Structure 1
Amino acid sequence: MGEQCLQRLVLPDQAPLPNPYAEADRSQAVADLLAQNRFDPAGLPAGPYALYLEIREGRLILDIRSVTEAPLRIIALALGPFRRLIKDYHMVVASHEAAVTEGGSDARIQAIDMGRRGLHNEGAELLAARLDGRVTLDFETARRLFTLVCALHQRI
């Protein structure tokens, strides 16, 4: 029996993001996601899986494939429920960058980082809830996928 995980992740454009902090988050999320994750689509053959992740026409598209590239299922989620979190996430990343560049205090940078972690947690819970019954994720996988949703949204 295969593993219920992602072995490959494909994003539509691998060009660096304009914000170096957002790019660092994206790169780290991809590396951490591929190192360890739980991704178990309901009703599909055993994994591992490849996931093509993109935003198209106001929807988050999860194109789930076998590692041999055989199409298995496409899930489209409306971005509306995520918009406030994505907007707040981008504002926090910009605040973090400004605090670091301007030599902000460690306490200020830590407070901003705690806010970013809180947004990640809220985004992960929302993503897991929106995928409930279709894909089972562990919390860390959901957090990393939310980071990637924010990165994809920034490219729009």
Structure 2
Amino acid sequence: MADIEDQKSDETTGGKLVEVVLDEASISRSTPDVEHDRAVAIYDLIDENEFQPSGQDPGNFVLKLSVVEKRLVFDIWSDAGQQLVTHVLSLTPLRKVVKDYDLICQSYYDAIRHATPSQIEAIDMGRRGVHNEGSAILMERLEGKITVDMQTARRLFTLVYALHWKG
């Protein structure tokens, strides 16, 4: 799992996200650090991603992410404005890793203000490990529904964390 961050899928998905919309009713305002992570994740996700909903022709897609009744909702639209498919996933399999990620992120954000560079690096390595774990779980949950590469899954996990975070 050490090289999971660098893994690429063996096949090209053909699909691409061109817009990501977070449901404002699902999230609350949070710390500047979390807000920054959300913005960077969306920017990076749109900039480079592999996203192919099963049963759809390759193309450009819009993803509307929300949390409804403790379920993660992937509402997928064409870039022409046609709703294509909605996938609803239980957040239960992600609950522990999101909680762990939240704790380590709090430690990381505190460390970047007060700790030595070597302490920050150690916490960041742990943070990346938990992030990879959450991304792998998300990829498993999307299997058969949406094909994504690991980098896309990592960015999506950041957004799941952002939706789940209720500051």
CA contact (8 A) 1:16 1:23 kept: no
Say if 2:117 is the partner of 1:106.
yes
| Percent of aligned positions that are identical | 42
Aligned match for 2:154, one of 118, 123, 143: 143
Structure 1 letter corresponding to 2:157: F
CA distance in 1, matches of 2:121, 2:109: 12
CA contact (8 A) 1:65 1:72 kept: yes
CA distance in 2, matches of 1:35, 1:133: 24
CA distance in 2, matches of 1:107, 1:128: 31
Q: Helix, strand or coil: the match of 2:102?
A: helix
What residue number does 2:85 align with?
Answer: 73
**Across the two proteins, how many residue pairs are aligned to each other?**
153
Q: Give 1:87-98 correspondences, 5 Å limit.
A: 87-98=99-110
What residue number does 2:16 align with?
Answer: 5
Note the C-alpha offset of 1:16: 7.9
- TM-score for both structures, normalised by structure 1: 0.92
CA distance in 1, matches of 2:105, 2:96: 14
CA distance in 2, matches of 1:16, 1:32: 22
What residue number does 1:60 align with?
Answer: 72
Say if 2:17 is the partner of 1:37.
no
- The runs of 5 or more residues in structure 1 that have no matched partner are none
Query: Which range is displaced more, 17-26 or 136-145?
Result: 17-26
Note the C-alpha offset of 1:13: 2.2
**Which protein has greater RCO, CA pairs closer than 8 Å, 6+ apart?**
2
CA contact (8 A) 2:28 2:166 kept: no
CA contact (8 A) 1:4 1:49 kept: yes
Aligned match for 2:133, one of 122, 126, 143: 122
Structure 2 letter corresponding to 1:20: P
CA contact (8 A) 2:38 2:162 kept: yes
- TM-score for both structures, normalised by structure 2: 0.86
Query: Which range is displaced more, 5-14 or 91-100?
Result: 5-14
Kindly report the root-mean-square deviation, in angstroms, between the aligned alpha carbons of the 2 structures: 1.7
Alignment deviations for residues 41-96 of structure 1 (CA, whole Å, 9 cap, x no partner): 11013311000001110100000010122110000000000001111111111111
Q: Helix, strand or coil: the match of 1:37?
A: coil
What residue number does 1:24 align with?
Answer: 36
